Amino acid sequence: MIPDKKAALVTGSAKGIGRAIARRLLNEGFRVALADRDAAALRKTEAELSAPGDVLAVRMDVAREGDVRRGMAAALKRFKRLDVLVNNAGIADPASGMEVERWRAIIGVNLTGAFLCAKYAEGALRRTKGCVVNIASTRALMSEPGTPAYSASKGGLVALTHSLAISWGPDIRVNCISPGWIANDPHARLRPIDHAQHPVGRVGRPEDVAALAAYLASEEAGFVTGQNFTIDGGMTRKMIYAD
């Protein structure tokens, strides 16, 4: 028998956007499995959330199939169901260049990791008519110099989203969020110009992404699948010319 209380697994949830999503889902009444390869940060976040009965910390490197298989099994053993998978784990490398090993590492975490998590979550999500929320980036749509691996991995994640949505519907909804500039470090010093260049007048916060993820995970989004939602303060709509 499937328990009544819904459960989610959020990868890369020890810090930043992942932690904010985990916190938001917990506040929405979910039990949450925190998955991250940073064991120390994972323990810290688990303690900060202060909900031992509803939170499970799972050390997981999403690029390793064995880790994903064991982590998913641990979450299902504890919660007996899975309703939401959030693929947030990622490597953000501002200058990965053309090094093949760095390419493989970034693709391995950002894209293959999401594929592996989806693979091992599929059965449980079908049983609950659940959903997947992938966290990509506006770098799937636009680029800075020197970031081919990161941009390719996020573009691939957008494509994986609509492919899974078509392959798994109607049992499982699959959507994607592409954040722009999100200030993950609350202590980072941001300049007035950093905020002003955004049409909304500020840099994004992890909680902005978490709010959208919570909506996509809810029954209110029952008619939404295969979509990529850009959340960037309007920056991808802004034409920029040299003075």
The stretch 93-106 carries a mean pLDDT of 82
Tokens of 152: 């390719």
What's the structural domain count of the chain?
Answer: 1
pLDDT at residue 16 is higher than 90: yes
CA distances from 41 to 84, 147, 189 (A): 22, 27, 22
pLDDT at residue 86 is higher than 70: yes
Among 8-12, 88-92, 120-124, the least confident range = 88-92
Any idea how long the chain is?
243
Residue 2 carries which side chain, given as an amino acid letter?
Answer: I
Does the residue 1 lie in any domain? no
CA 71 to CA 59: how far, in whole Å? 7
Domain span including residue 46? 7-236
CB 89 within 8 A of CB 35: yes
pLDDT at residue 81 is higher than 90: yes
- Each residue of 20-44: pLDDT tens digit? 999 999 999 999 999 999 999 999 9
- State the pLDDT at residue 139: 92
Concatenating the DSSP letter of every residue in 134-201 gives EE--GGGT---TT-HHHHHHHHHHHHHHHHHHHHHTTT-EEEEEEE-SB---TT----HHHHHTSTTS
CATH code of the domain covering residue 80: 3.40.50.720
The stretch 186-203 carries a mean pLDDT of 90
Exactly one of 120, 150, 215, 241 is catalytic; which is it? Answer: 150
- State the pLDDT at residue 61: 98
Does the residue 243 lie in any domain? no
- Each residue of 112-124: pLDDT tens digit? 999 999 999 999 9
Does the residue 2 lie in any domain? no
| pTM to 2 decimal places | 0.95
- State the pLDDT at residue 94: 62
- Each residue of 63-74: pLDDT tens digit? 999 999 999 999
The helix/strand/coil state of 229 is: strand
Grade residue 155 by pLDDT with cuts at 50, 70 and 90: very high
SS3 string of 7-46? Answer: EEEEECCCCHHHHHHHHHHHHCCCEEEEEECCHHHHHHHH
- State the pLDDT at residue 71: 97
CB 56 within 8 A of CB 104: no
Indicate the average pLDDT of the chain. Answer: 94
CB 82 within 8 A of CB 118: no
Grade residue 140 by pLDDT with cuts at 50, 70 and 90: very high
120 among known catalytic residues: no
Cross-strand pairs, 33: 9, 56
- State the pLDDT at residue 240: 81
pLDDT at residue 98 is higher than 70: yes
Is residue 170 reached through a cis peptide bond, with omega within 30 degrees of 0 on the bond before it? yes
Q: Which residues contact 91 (CB under 8 A, 6 or more apart)?
A: 105, 106, 109, 110, 150
pLDDT at residue 241 is higher than 90: no
Does the residue 60 lie in any domain? yes
Tokens of 232: 């960037």
- State the pLDDT at residue 187: 78
pLDDT at residue 221 is higher than 90: yes
Instruction: Walk across the sheet containing 7-11 and list its strands.
Output: 55-59, 31-36, 7-11, 84-87, 131-135, 173-179, 228-231
Does the residue 165 lie in any domain? yes
- State the pLDDT at residue 51: 87
Does the residue 241 lie in any domain? no
The stretch 171-180 carries a mean pLDDT of 98
